[in-house]
Structure 1
Amino acid sequence: MHFLKPLAAVASVAALLATPVLAETRVTYKSAKTGSSYYQMGVQIAEAMKAGTGGDIIVTVEESQGSVQNVMEVKARGGDYVFTTPPALVGLAQGGKAMFEGKGDPAFDEIRALFPIPSLTMHFVMSKASGVTDFAGMEGKTILLGKGSFGATEGEKYLGLFGLEGKVNIADVELSGAVAALKNGQIDGFVTAGSYPAPNVIEAAASADVTVLSLTDEQIEASKRARLVIPAGTYAGQDADIVTTSLPVAAFTTTKMDDDTAYELTRTFWEGKAGLGQDAAWWNGVDPALLATVPVRFHPGAQRYYEEAGIALTDDQK
Structure 2
Amino acid sequence: MMKRKGLFIATILMLALSLILTACGTSKDTTNGAQGENTEGKKSSGKKEFISLLTGGTGGTYYPLGGTFTAQWNDEIDGVEATAQVTGASAENMQTLSEGEAEVAFTQTDIASYALDGKMMFPEKITNFKAMGTLYPETVQIVTTEKSGIKSVEDLKGKTVSIGAGGSGTAANAEQILEVHGLTLDDIKKQDLSFDESTTGIQDGHIDAAFVTAGTPTGAIEGLSATEKVVIVPITEDKIAELEEKYPYYAKDTIPVGTYGSEEEITTVAIKAMLVVRDDLEEDLVYKMTKTLFENTDKIGHSKGKLISAETALEGLKGMELHPGAKKYFDEKGIKLE
What is residue 86 of structure 1 aligned with on the other side? 108
Note closer, same or farther for the CA distance 1:161–1:291 as it changes in structure 2 (3 Å cut).
same
Q: Which has the larger radius of gyration?
A: 2
Distance 1:139 1:34 in 2: 27
What is residue 115 of structure 1 aligned with on the other side? 133
- Once superposed, what is the RMSD of the aligned Cα atoms? 3.6
What is residue 212 of structure 1 aligned with on the other side? 232
SS at match of 1:21: coil
SS at match of 1:85: strand
Distance 1:121 1:167 in 2: 24
What is residue 180 of structure 2 aligned with on the other side? 161
What is the 5 A alignment of 1:223-234?
223=243, 224=247, 225-233=249-257
What is the 5 A alignment of 1:238-249?
238-249=262-273
| Superposition TM-score, scaled by structure 2 size | 0.70
Distance 1:81 1:166 in 2: 34
Q: 1:44 aligns with which of 51, 54, 68?
A: 68
What is residue 145 of structure 2 aligned with on the other side? 127
Give aligned-pair identity as a percent.
19
What is the 5 A alignment of 1:60-209?
60-72=83-95, 77=100, 81-101=103-123, 103-104=124-125, 108=127, 111-139=129-157, 142-148=160-166, 149-165=168-184, 170=189, 174=193, 176-183=196-203, 185=205, 187-209=207-229
On the 8 A contact 2:142/2:232 being kept in 1, the answer is yes
On the 8 A contact 2:314/2:336 being kept in 1, the answer is no
On the 8 A contact 2:55/2:84 being kept in 1, the answer is no
- C-alpha displacement of 1:270: 0.9
Note closer, same or farther for the CA distance 1:237–1:81 as it changes in structure 2 (3 Å cut).
closer
On the 8 A contact 1:205/1:235 being kept in 2, the answer is no
- Alignment-mate amino acid for residue 316 of structure 2: T
On the 8 A contact 1:27/1:82 being kept in 2, the answer is no
What is residue 54 of structure 2 aligned with on the other side? 31
Could you list the structure 1 runs, at least 4 aligned residues long, displaced by more than 6 angstroms after superposition.
none
What is residue 45 of structure 2 aligned with on the other side? 22
Note closer, same or farther for the CA distance 1:272–1:213 as it changes in structure 2 (3 Å cut).
same
- C-alpha displacement of 1:167: 9.4
Note closer, same or farther for the CA distance 1:228–1:64 as it changes in structure 2 (3 Å cut).
same
Q: 2:303 aligns with which of 277, 281, 297?
A: 281
What is residue 291 of structure 2 aligned with on the other side? 267
Deviations 1:163-204 (A, max 9, x none): 345896537685544445444555543322222211121122
Note closer, same or farther for the CA distance 1:133–1:92 as it changes in structure 2 (3 Å cut).
closer
Q: Work out the number of aligned pairs and report it.
A: 291
On the 8 A contact 2:258/2:264 being kept in 1, the answer is no
What is residue 12 of structure 2 aligned with on the other side? none
Any gaps of 5 or more consecutive residues in structure 2? Answer: 1-32
Any gaps of 5 or more consecutive residues in structure 1? Answer: 1-13
| Superposition TM-score, scaled by structure 1 size | 0.74
Greater alpha carbon shift after TM alignment, 20-29 vs 245-254: 20-29
SS at match of 1:45: helix
